[in-house]
Amino acid sequence: MFRRKRRAEDFAEEIKAHLDLEAEDLKHEGLSVDEARRQARAEFGSVQTAQERFYLKNRIGWFENLLRDLRYGLRGLWHNPGFTAVAVITLGLAIGANASIFSLFDQALLRTLPVKDPGQLVVLSFAGDTDGHTHSYGGNPPGHRHEFSYPMYRDLREKNTVFSGLIAAAPSQAGLTWNNHAESVSAEMVSGNYFETLGVRPAEGRLFDANDETAEGANPVAVLSFDYWKTHLDEAPVVGHAVLVNGTTFTITGVAAPGFHSMVWGRTPDVFVPITMQRVVEPEWTYLKDHDSYFIDLMGRLRPGVTRVQAQSALNLLFLSLRRSEFALLHDQSANARKGYIDEAHLNLEPGGGGFSPMRGDVRTPLLIMMGMVLLVVSMAIVNVASLLLVRAASRVREFSIRYSLGATGGQILRQLLAEGALLGVAGAAIGLLLAPRALQLLIHWMHGSSPDEPVFSSTLDWHVLLFTIAATFIASLLFSLAPAVQFWNPRLADALKQNTGTGIGGSLKFRRTCVALQVGFSLLLIVGAGLFVRTIQNLRNVNAGFATDHLLSFDLSPAMAGYPLPDVAPVEQRVLDAIAVLPGVRGAGATNDADLAGDNRTGDVKVSGYTPKPNEDFDVELPWVSDNYLQTLGVPLAAGRYFAPSDTATSTRVAIVNQSFAQHFFGSVGAALGQHVSRPGRPETDATIVGVVRDVKHTTVRDPAMPTCYVLFVQSAKVGGLKYYVRTWQSPDSAVNSIRAAVAQIDPKLVVGEVSTMTDAIDDSILEERTIALLATVFGVLATILAGIGLYGILAYSTTQRTREIGIRMALGAHRGTVIGMIVRDVMVLAGAAVGVTIPLAIVGSRLVRSELFGISFADPAVYGMGILVIGAVAALASLIPAQRSASVNPVDALRAE
């Protein structure tokens, strides 16, 4: 129902008609024609101005109104600096926190890869048994193995008809030497079509193409990541220059585009090399030829017009025929093996716009928890500002009543309130967006821990975050400005004017009580959350690992990165151990290929003498390769037999030490394990005699219970790679760092000693997820408590002022100050108590949802809830005590006369 606007010409004609009518009248009153005309014109004032105003009214009337509302709102806020500051800071903090956490959430879970048409990308995974060796970084739900063998990849790539490109990548560490400076970098081994299929452009030179993936060992070329080139090589001209990767000369062909890291989200490789160069990067493995070495992640780009479902069914036919020919080469040809390898096998194609990521599963829950907490903080801020606005609005009843009586409509008043709310919201959002990048930077730095890799997250706010923040601000502003609007929608204006008490707003008492209850509830939720997570990290830090974690240093060293050929690796590693062991201040040194409390596992199945596996038993054990002094250095207690000794050498009898769980599982008791034999199935050369049994210690992380473990000596192993070294010191561990580096450099300056860190730090790194949640929960909890304090104080100070007359009467009738204070505080405490009563069950339900992140504490831990109730109770009591005391100290006579 749009009415046609009246045209300006019509308006002009009306004015002309007016002038004629007026002149006519004046003529009748006796003036001459000319005089009448002149006077009519003079009386009208400026015809042009009237016409202009008509024009403006139609065109920019709404704009003028908006400007006027904003100007008026701004002036109002300016005259209440205290109120404005508290409201804007509250909103700023909440919006800033919201933007920061949302940015992390968006980067990890929502954003797509910075590549061409990410919507066409699919991630490949499969179900079905595997034989041999899997190199996994996690992220594999049942039926979704993401690691493929290289031969399978080549067959899928060459024989499929559904992809315009199928790409492969595998992560690794490598030693990179540039200008005689060697360092350990993260590398990604990629297929030749990797960059081309993703649509990543070079920042410098050229990226790989199909000619860079010809034959094993034939493509010594490298591409640098933009970040590494910028931060480590100062953007030096690198194209065509040589660089050493694990001692082998590679030619740098180019630098990848800024912003691109990897097809796998969370990986930040410094250098890319063709996958055909795998033997250089990881000399101990022969991945390229093995059908049973599963180590590469695959992604495909669908041909235009091919849907994911079509591609999946077409590709499954190919996959199953390839599995059939692989199965023909396996040892075990039983029906059972066939069922697991072929009949139950299938290929999954999943949307890959965000890239596959083993990390994503790990960060999802923590991020959801953080997002939940920050939304609570935002809700809290909305209630807070709403209650402040309400208090302010209540003192404006008369002002609004007068405006009504002067012809303002409800809509105009509402518009005015919304304009004021919008001003607060915009100011809050501005502060929030200024704070967010800083907060994000701190948070990312903190989460990054001591890892030498590039951080996965960026602290730059992108348009996603801006859009989200604008939307959140808009909704928040609407909510908190509507709170006072509700009561002004139609106040009985005459009543308000007549009522000198100024409380012509009956509905707002309920609203005030709701605000108090919500604030108590929200902050209790956040305090309980903070309590649970802080207790969790305390428990994780104090967990008994089974060995002493103090005075223990660790570092990585990989001779392969310095170009050592395979047979020379074990001897140089032994030399490093010997050199460190004799350093002053060192109590012992050991090494393992399976780092402790770092989230790492090296698992496999074993054949144990005298033990008949149950049918279908597929029992994996932890299989670390260690040095002879490793168990003693860590201080893993011996339960039976002996430790490894220097007399166990590469050429002596192969020996093994198992832990208690291992002995219990396979032999029923600790003693029965000694003298038994253990080997890898199908590899009789790995047979070793069990010479000792040690107690169970924590290995993967402090959360996980010990797995059955079988330690063997790395000097007796066929293919040894880089090791993690552990050094037990007498004094503070930091004092030994320099002498360790010097000792290694003396053996060979090319050897790259990675980051040297203490075990305590390593444990802290391994519980980073929990620590981050605990940190944020604490920050949010404190913030919520402060906000609750301010909000409650605001409301209570106001409502006590409202009761001044009542209090005056009570005191005039003989009530004591104490009684009055008690009455006011009791009112608030009853309300807070009710809010607590409603919130506790909600808190228990909420905590139950996050119980997977808790450790050593029940989600319904009474101490934490008790503490939360105590804190919020104290805040409520304090917030009500001050206004109560103030109102109780007024002179009753003044109180009665004031109004």
Complex with other proteins: residue 11 or 285, whichever CB lies closer? 11
Residue 193 phi/psi, 5-degree rounding, is: -90, 10
Residues 665-700: b if buried by 16+ CB within 10 A, e if exposed:
ebbeebebbbebebbbeeeeebebebbbbbebbbbb
- The stretch among 9-17, 100-108, 116-124, 290-298 that binds other proteins (CB under 8 A) is 9-17
Minimum gap (Å) between residue 74 Cβ and other proteins: 12
Minimum gap (Å) between residue 88 Cβ and other proteins: 19
Minimum gap (Å) between residue 16 Cβ and other proteins: 9
Cβ neighbours, 10 Å, residue 501? 10
Minimum gap (Å) between residue 42 Cβ and other proteins: 11
Site for other proteins in 496-515 (CB under 8 A): 497-498
Q: Is 1 one of the binding residues for other proteins (CB under 8 A)?
A: no
Minimum gap (Å) between residue 70 Cβ and other proteins: 13
Minimum gap (Å) between residue 896 Cβ and other proteins: 12
Provide Rg for the chain, Cα atoms: 37
Contact 91, 385 (CB under 8 A): yes
Distances (CA, A) of 802 to 505, 797, 805, 898: 11, 9, 8, 12
Q: Is 408 one of the binding residues for other proteins (CB under 8 A)?
A: yes
Q: Which helix (H) or strand (E) holds 521?
A: helix 507-542
Q: Greatest CA span in the chain, whole angstroms? A: 138
Minimum gap (Å) between residue 518 Cβ and other proteins: 30
Angle of CA points 199, 202, 204, to nearest 5°: 175
Structure tokens at 32: 């001459």
- The stretch among 310-318, 399-407, 452-460, 722-730 that binds other proteins (CB under 8 A) is 399-407
Site for other proteins in 71-90 (CB under 8 A): 72, 75-76, 79
Pair type for strands 607-608 and 677-680: antiparallel
> Which of 45, 81, 82, 705: binder of other proteins (CB under 8 A)?
45
Complex with other proteins: residue 415 or 535, whichever CB lies closer? 415
Q: Is 235 one of the binding residues for other proteins (CB under 8 A)?
A: no
> Which of 338, 403, 587, 886: binder of other proteins (CB under 8 A)?
403
Q: What is the spatial distance between Cα 348 and Cα 309, in angstroms, rounded to a whole number?
A: 9
Using a CB cutoff of 8 Å and minimum separation of 24, what contacts does 811-816 make?
811/888, 811/892, 811/895, 812/892, 812/893, 812/896
**Structure-token match 């790990």, residue found:** 362
Residue 684 phi/psi, 5-degree rounding, is: -60, -25
Beta bridge partners of 127: 346
> Which of 49, 286, 336, 544: binder of other proteins (CB under 8 A)?
49
> Which of 8, 18, 474, 503: binder of other proteins (CB under 8 A)?
18
Q: What is the spatial distance between Cα 158 and Cα 165, in angstroms, rounded to a whole number?
A: 10
Q: Is 8 one of the binding residues for other proteins (CB under 8 A)?
A: no
Q: Is 411 one of the binding residues for other proteins (CB under 8 A)?
A: no
Q: Is 22 one of the binding residues for other proteins (CB under 8 A)?
A: yes
Complex with other proteins: residue 497 or 829, whichever CB lies closer? 497
> Which of 25, 343, 568, 755: binder of other proteins (CB under 8 A)?
25
Structure tokens at 248: 């082998």
- The stretch among 382-390, 405-413, 676-684, 789-797 that binds other proteins (CB under 8 A) is 405-413
Q: Which residues contact 250 (CB under 8 A, 6 or more apart)?
A: 220, 221, 222, 242, 243, 244, 273, 277
Q: Which amino acid makes up residue 618?
A: D
Complex with other proteins: residue 6 or 851, whichever CB lies closer? 6
Q: Which residues contact 591 (CB under 8 A, 6 or more apart)?
A: 573, 577, 626, 627, 630, 714, 723, 724, 725, 726
Minimum gap (Å) between residue 423 Cβ and other proteins: 17
Complex with other proteins: residue 404 or 522, whichever CB lies closer? 404
Collapse the DSSP code of 485 into the 3-class scheme (helix H, G, I; strand E, B; otherwise coil) and give the result. helix
- The stretch among 10-18, 431-439, 665-673, 772-780 that binds other proteins (CB under 8 A) is 10-18
Minimum gap (Å) between residue 7 Cβ and other proteins: 12
Q: What is the spatial distance between Cα 525 and Cα 380, in angstroms, rounded to a whole number?
A: 11
> Which of 117, 332, 344, 399: binder of other proteins (CB under 8 A)?
399
Chain mean position to CA 562: 36
Q: What is the spatial distance between Cα 498 and Cα 514, in angstroms, rounded to a whole number?
A: 28
**Structure-token match 């050929």, residue found:** 565
Collapse the DSSP code of 565 into the 3-class scheme (helix H, G, I; strand E, B; otherwise coil) and give the result. coil
Q: Is 406 one of the binding residues for other proteins (CB under 8 A)?
A: yes
> Which of 35, 43, 117, 568: binder of other proteins (CB under 8 A)?
43
Complex with other proteins: residue 3 or 181, whichever CB lies closer? 3
Q: Is 68 one of the binding residues for other proteins (CB under 8 A)?
A: yes
Minimum gap (Å) between residue 84 Cβ and other proteins: 14
Q: Is 21 one of the binding residues for other proteins (CB under 8 A)?
A: yes
Per rule CB under 8 A, count of chain residues that contact other proteins = 37
Q: Which of 609, 601, 605 lies closest to 681 in space, CA to CA? A: 605
What ranges in 146-305 are assigned the alpha helix state H? 150-159, 194-198, 226-232, 278-281
Site string for other proteins, 460-499 (x = CB under 8 A): ---------------------------------xx--xx-
Angle of CA points 682, 687, 691, to nearest 5°: 150
- The stretch among 17-25, 112-120, 322-330, 876-884 that binds other proteins (CB under 8 A) is 17-25
Q: Is 567 one of the binding residues for other proteins (CB under 8 A)?
A: no
What ranges in 298-396 are assigned the alpha helix state H? 308-327, 335-338, 358-394
Q: Is 59 one of the binding residues for other proteins (CB under 8 A)?
A: no
Complex with other proteins: residue 745 or 898, whichever CB lies closer? 898
Structure tokens at 340: 């697991």
> Which of 32, 33, 35, 53: binder of other proteins (CB under 8 A)?
53
Pair type for strands 296-302 and 163-178: antiparallel
Q: What is the spatial distance between Cα 789 and Cα 761, in angstroms, rounded to a whole number?
A: 37
Complex with other proteins: residue 49 or 231, whichever CB lies closer? 49
**Binding region for other proteins (CB under 8 A):** 6, 11, 14-15, 17-18, 20-22, 24-25, 43-47, 49-50, 53-54, 57, 68, 72, 75-76, 79, 399, 403-408, 493-494, 497-498
